[in-house]
Amino acid sequence: MTLDECKQVVAKVQLGDNRQVDRLVIMEWFDTIGHLNAADAIAAVKMHRQESTDYLQMAHVIRNAVRVRAKRAIDSGPVYCRTHDFYPLPCDRCKEYPEEVSF
C-alpha cells in the first residue's frame, strides 16, 4: 500500500477507538503493515472490530489480512488438482480441469 492508503487505514482504526495519531504513528504503521494490500487492511480492521473488543494492534491487522486473502481465494473457486495436492490447474499430470475439482 502507499503511505496515503496507510493513512486511510489508520484513520479507520482511529475512528474505532479515538487513539491519538500523528505523523510518527502513521510512519510506524506504514513500516509494519505497508506490505499489505490497502483494501485487505481495511477489511482486516473491520473484521477485528466485528470479532473482538481487544485494543487493535498492527499484528491483528496483519493476521486478519491473511484471513481476508484466504477467504477471497476460497471464494474464487478451486485452483488445485484434487489428485495431485497443490498442483495448479489445469493439471498437466492428469489433465484435470477446474470444473472437475471440489475444494
Which pLDDT band holds residue 5 (cuts at 50, 70, 90)? very high
Residue 95: DSSP 8-state = -
Domain that holds residue 63: 3-77
Which pLDDT band holds residue 70 (cuts at 50, 70, 90)? confident
* 37 belongs to a structural domain: yes
47 has a pLDDT exceeding 50: yes
- Percentage of residues in the chain having pLDDT higher than 90: 66
* 86 belongs to a structural domain: no
Section 64-80 average pLDDT: 80
What is the per-residue pLDDT for 102?
A: 45
For the chain, the domain total comes to 1
* 48 belongs to a structural domain: yes
